[in-house]
A = this chain, B = another copy of it.
Amino acid sequence: MNACMTMTKTSPELLADPLFDPLFDQRFKGFPRTQAPLRRSELAAAGWNVLAGDLPLPLALLKREALEHNLAWMQARVRGWGIDLAPHGKTTMSPQLFRRQLDGGAWGLTFATVTQLAVGVAAGARRALIANQVVSDEDLGGIQQLLAAHPGLRIVFLVDSLAQLALIEAWSAAHPASVAFEVMVEIGVDGARTGCRTQEQAIALAERLRASPATRLVGIECYEGQGATGDSGRDSAYTNTLMDRVEAVARHCEAEDLFDADEVLVSAGGSALYDLVALRLKPALGLPVRGLLRSGCYVTHDHGTYQRLQVSVDARIGCATGESLRPAMEVWATVQSCPEPRLAIVAMGKRDISFDLSMPAPIARAARDARSPDGVPASWEITALNDQHAYLRWSAAADALAPVVGERIGFGISHPCTTFDKWHWMPVVEADYRVSDAVSMHF
């Protein structure tokens, strides 16, 4: 099944839209310098192969099989849990990946900002969460503009304070033709990010939201990801304590008739403890409940942060490694200098790959003329990144396998979000690194 064939639910008109079928050219980092511009839909026919040197490095790429596995695996898991997926679009900001998520069965998409939301709506999302407090006039007006332009579009954002509600009410009072904003009350944790710290705050806020003509309370939300440690005992306790609070507020809101909805949304979910919150997203209320998991990083997974945390997920859900999520992104770069013993400088830096959670992981190598990758010694590691350079070091025991100038090295990433945002496109490759498709990003 090739990449385009997965988009069966998307109309031909939408696929011909430049948003899905953009024109790539030499201004796109990684596009061949000696080739004419090509549309996404024309790339497969070009017959390029990354390891044949057809595209300049550094280059971030997606591995089709792992990508499609992840998309299908997470959707099947969520279905099995009896909940829905509203994957966080901020991870990829890619219309082509948004389409695959929606066509694969996602209920909707999640975004962090109204600017991101607008890209998602243009990509066809008709149900969207903003997993953030919306407070500014520009953002509130932007939501209303999207709602007016797209009949049937649903946008739900978070509220966690009376101060925020006052700003929403002021905007709505100044714009009497606007519709009421759909909101969820956010439940937060002391020392973590946003969200009501106490049940009393949450309930007082819910009562005011019910009474306000500017808002409709449609659900309860939290973000559990900041508590993740990888220790299942601690992580389960943390998650359950938080989800107990979400459930208690939801029950109270139902009992007091504070929801203004036929169906209550209960949403949580980063990409670390998603299996734990998934089990708590359908509390038994009188009203129907839709549990919405917002994981975003599952699309490509990684060789770093989320791979480490997935080990605990796998143990909890009984998956062997590789059965669940698989790393689908690699960044390839060239050794430009081996200036002293046990140091190689690779032409790839902070502009090309994530470094915020941990350093890139060398996972493969290909000599200048090689057409297939080899493994790398276990001692290879990136010890530092500059803007445009990486420092690769190894132990003396691996000297005989030292990298050489001109050799290509493949890196696993440590954080999908902060790698996607360094590229405007990424080719999608087959197992042999032949380019069969591409995605574009809109950060």
Contacts and interface: CB of A to CB of B under 8 A. Distances in A.
B340 A190 contact: yes
A355 B418 CA distance: 12
B114 A340 contact: no
A12 interface: no
A383 to B, nearest CB: 11
A406 B163 contact: yes
Contact of A56 (B114, B351, B355, B388): B114
Contacts of A372: none
Contact of A136 (B29, B113, B334): B334
Contacts of A41: none
B443 A188 contact: no
Interface stretch (A194-202, A212-220, A358-366): A194-202
A11 interface: no
Interface of A: 26-27, 29-30, 32-34, 53, 55-57, 90, 112-115, 118-119, 132-139, 141-142, 145, 160-161, 163-164, 167, 188, 190-191, 193-197, 334-340, 345, 347, 350-351, 355-356, 368, 386-389, 391, 404-406, 417-418, 421-422, 442-443
B138 A55 contact: yes
A190 B196 CA distance: 53
A79 to B, nearest CB: 27
A33 B136 contact: no
A25 to B, nearest CB: 10
B193 A345 contact: yes
B29 A387 contact: no
A56 B339 contact: no
A443 B334 contact: no
21 contacts: A26-B115, A27-B442, A29-B115, A29-B443, A33-B114, A33-B115, A33-B145, A56-B114, A112-B387, A113-B388, A133-B347, A135-B334, A160-B337, A161-B337, A163-B338, A163-B404, A193-B339, A193-B345, A193-B391, A194-B336, A350-B418
A34 B141 CA distance: 8
Given A90-B388, A421-B422, 15 more contacts: A29-B115, A53-B137, A112-B387, A112-B388, A132-B347, A132-B388, A133-B405, A134-B336, A160-B337, A161-B339, A163-B405, A188-B339, A197-B339, A350-B356, A355-B356
Contacts of A57: 136, 138
B29 A337 contact: no
A443 B188 CA distance: 37
A53 B345 contact: no
Given A388-B90, A405-B167, A406-B167, A135 B336 contact: yes
A197 B345 CA distance: 14
A90 B29 CA distance: 13
B113 A164 contact: no
Contacts of A142: 33-34, 56
B133 A337 contact: yes
Q: Is the interface of A mostly helix, strand, loop or mixed?
A: loop
Contacts of A196: 339
A194 B337 contact: yes
Given A27-B119, A57-B136, A160-B339, A345 B404 contact: no
Contact of A339 (B136, B194, B386, B388): B194
Contacts of A336: 132-135, 164, 194
A347 B193 contact: no
Nearest to A443: B351
Contacts of A136: 53, 56-57, 334, 406
A55 B139 CA distance: 10
Contacts of A194: 336-337, 339, 345, 389
A136 B405 CA distance: 10
Contact of A417 (B118, B138, B387): B387
Which residue of A27, A118, A136, A338 has the most chain B CB atoms within 10 A of its CB atom? A136
Contact of A115 (B53, B56, B418): B56
